[in-house]
Structure 1
Amino acid sequence: MQAREEKQLEAALDTIIQRVNDLKSSTAAMIYKVENEYETLNWPTFLDNYALLSGHLTSLSKILSHDKCPLLRNLTVLPLMLSPERDEALAQMTEGRVCTFAHDLVPDYLRTKLEPMAESKMLQLEHKAATLAFDNSQKQITAYQKVVSHVWDIVSKAREEWEVEASARGGAQQNSSMADTNLLVAAVGMGKGLKMMGNPPQPGVMVAPPGRPGSGPGPAMSPAGQPMNKAPSGIKTNIKSAVQVHPYTR
């Protein structure tokens, strides 16, 4: 009977250690993300990590409350050997946190009660809760429930709004066309489908480039390279040449 209980205890301890290691790994990963990836960490990722921690805690609680798991509170842990020298096996087992199992560390690691300061604080709180009047306690409970209900209403309303927005975005009609987008890109990038505006140059007529700055544009040239005659003007002008005469001569 004793051997059977020892086997059950070993199996339970192995399972508990495994679950505790999983919980420790998840906690370390979450702390690393909060400390080093706080700029890119978003709320859904944080909630996923928190849900993972909650799952590990629930699994550990189920193992501890299982019928086949012995009551650990009824067991006593005693040190087999105390030494002030470094223990490599202990350091490896505790990942470098505990290197020696000396007389000054045993009371802290194997204690079954809280520290004196924490214990006195707990006693003060328990005494205050015991001496609290029934009416005052009911008022505090009612106020607390009111606050929790108000927060729950806010969260529920926000969730409903998010769901409505998500469903509206999912069922919205398409207001764009890929064909029109492709035509617009082709018109801007390659000029496809664009019409030329203005009068195009006549075939066979070549216009000479403008001259130097300050000089007017050159005359129009014919296909043979000869300058084209200007059109006759509709205004006739008579130019009279006069002989320059000295005013004092007769």
Structure 2
Amino acid sequence: MDATLSSLVGRIQDIKGSLSSLMMKLEKDQAQWPVLLDSFATLSGQVNMLLKQLKSDKAPALHSRVVWPCNLSNKGDEELEKVTEGRIPVFHHEVVPDYLRTKLDLDLERQQQEMEAEGDKLTPEAAKLQINQLNERAGQILATISQYRENWGAVQTW
């Protein structure tokens, strides 16, 4: 179990490093399209490797393990803050349900079920009509943007 967890932590740290590298590129506006595609391909590969490792027969069934908070406190915990890199300064009764949640919030789950039910009621003809209307509207928006871009270029060349 310890070896599996340390291996998972290593893979997650690799993913975290790739994400932070991508974020730095985006913040510094150094992200050209090929660079973004490479970064996303790297992230995709890393996530797939993590999922394969989780589904592996060699990995113990982590889904059957229970995480139980043993120490709740309203006081700040420097060790917890250090381990979570400043994301969780206090672990108390108000935040535990959010951090240890395994299901969607009940309101979100209800909204999702309502949207799925609404989508199930839609006939294929009505769906095709909505798709065509959306594509038409998107085309109009793109034409408007192109027009403004051309006008902006003409204004800039004064």
Letter in 2 for 1:104: E
1:141-188 CA-to-partner distances (Å, cap 9, x unmatched) read xx89xx9xxxxxxxxxxxxxxxxxxxxxxxxxxxxxxxxxxxxxxxxx
Question: Following TM superposition, by how much is the alpha carbon of 1:117 offset from its aligned partner in structure 2, in angstroms?
Answer: 3.1
Structure 1 residues not aligned, in runs of 5+: 1-8, 148-250
Question: Following TM superposition, by how much is the alpha carbon of 1:67 offset from its aligned partner in structure 2, in angstroms?
Answer: 0.8
Secondary structure at the counterpart of residue 49 of structure 1? helix
Q: Is the aligned partner of 1:17 residue 2:9?
A: yes
Q: Using CA pairs under 8 Å that are at least 6 residues apart, name the structure with larger relative contact order, 1 or 2.
A: 2
Q: Is the aligned partner of 1:95 residue 2:85?
A: yes
Pairwise CA RMSD: 2.3
Question: Following TM superposition, by how much is the alpha carbon of 1:44 offset from its aligned partner in structure 2, in angstroms?
Answer: 1.6
Q: Is the aligned partner of 1:35 residue 2:27?
A: yes
Secondary structure at the counterpart of residue 86 of structure 1? coil
**Residue equivalent to 2:37:** 47
Calculate the TM-score normalised by the size of structure 2. Answer: 0.72
C-alpha distance in 1 between matches for 2:103 and 2:15: 24
Larger Rg: 1
Question: Following TM superposition, by how much is the alpha carbon of 1:136 offset from its aligned partner in structure 2, in angstroms?
Answer: 4.3
Calculate the TM-score normalised by the size of structure 1. Answer: 0.47
**Residue equivalent to 2:53:** 63
C-alpha distance in 1 between matches for 2:119 and 2:4: 37
More helix by share: 2
Give the one of 100, 105, 116 matched to 1:115: 105
C-alpha distance in 2 between matches for 1:112 and 1:130: 26
Secondary structure at the counterpart of residue 69 of structure 1? coil
Give the one of 81, 85, 97 matched to 2:75: 85
CA distance 1:83–1:53, shift in 2 (3 Å): same
